[in-house]
Amino acid sequence: MLTEERKRAILDILQEKMSVSVGELSDLFNVSDVTIRKILNELDNYGFLKRTRGGAVSLATSIREFEEKEKEAKNTAEKKAIAKKAYEQIEDGETAFIDAGSTTLELIRFIKNGNKRNIVVITNAINLAVEMVDAEDIDLILIGGNVRHRILSCVGGLTERAIESLYFDKVFLGANCIDIEHGVTTPNTYEAQVKQQMLKSAKQKIVLADSSKFNETSLVKVCPIESIDLLITDWNIQTEYIKQIRELGVTVIVAEPGE
């Protein structure tokens, strides 16, 4: 059994039992205690369980979110290329809301190191705000709320009301999954509600999604594809998807390698 398969199996066990010991797992998988401890430590670092002395307890995190967290470490070149194209959409003097996510983190880095003038950046993502905090020439607004520790985003009623009170030129929305029929979806209800409010408060709605997110559907619908203005993706997307999305009236920009 591969390490990633063991990780999923351990999360399955914890969903059933809520707690497990190193000894139980080493016997089950026929591997050493050292191997199991390493796997449990990795899952703890991801925020999928809590390590205890001699084992671990469940944080009731879904398998789907685990799989999506794994994706964040992949497609780095594609995400950087998408982020660069997104940065090019920002004009001097504009206010931009930057959603939580790995591609939007790359966008924040372009903004931080770029030459746009008199821009305001708003975000509900703690890690994005930290990335920007020493960029003194950029006005930064961090929206608070209930913290999702694994994602480092703020959600909930407080977050939604704060966003509702604002109006911004552009929102750059991260996407967990995109499907022609089901639209943009995410595994978390609270994230979906916050994203929906971002879209309501934005003049221009821009979604950033690498090609691995397409033809996938998650638990909660954020919006139909036709409700967004611009989709930025990478060169690996299938031509048929581009055609179908454009037929819905959405502008599509495809970032190319090395751009």
Q: How many residues does the chain have?
A: 259
- Picking from 34-48, 164-178, 203-217, which range would have the lowest pLDDT averaged per residue? 34-48
Query: What is 3-61's CATH number?
Result: 1.10.10.10
3-class DSSP state of 213: helix
Q: Please, what CATH class does the domain formed by 71-255 belong to?
A: alpha beta
Percent of the chain with pLDDT over 90: 68
- Identify the residue with better confidence: 29 or 120: 120
- Identify the residue with better confidence: 63 or 249: 249
| Pairwise CA distance, residues 42 & 59, whole Å | 14
Q: What is the pLDDT of residues 202-246, one digit of tens each?
A: 999 999 999 999 998 888 899 999 999 999 999 999 999 999 999
C-alpha 23 chain-centroid distance = 35
Please tell me the pTM assigned to this model.
Answer: 0.74
The answer on pLDDT for 164 being more than 60 is yes
Percent of the chain with pLDDT over 70: 92
Q: Which two tokens stand for residue 210?
A: 């690498």
If you average pLDDT over every residue of the chain, what do you get? 90
Residues 136-165 have a mean pLDDT of 92
Q: What is the pLDDT of residues 13-27, one digit of tens each?
A: 887 677 899 999 999
Q: Supply the pLDDT for residue 259.
A: 67
Q: Supply the pLDDT for residue 75.
A: 72
Which sequence spans correspond to the domains of the chain? Answer: 3-61, 71-255
Q: Supply the pLDDT for residue 192.
A: 93
Q: What is the pLDDT of residues 74-94, one digit of tens each?
A: 678 999 999 999 999 999 999
User: Rounded to 10 degrees, what is the CA torsion of 11, 4, 41, 129?
Assistant: -90
The strand pair at 146-148 and 153-155 is best described as antiparallel
The answer on pLDDT for 153 being more than 90 is yes
Q: What is the pLDDT of residues 172-209, one digit of tens each?
A: 999 999 999 999 999 888 899 999 999 999 999 999 99
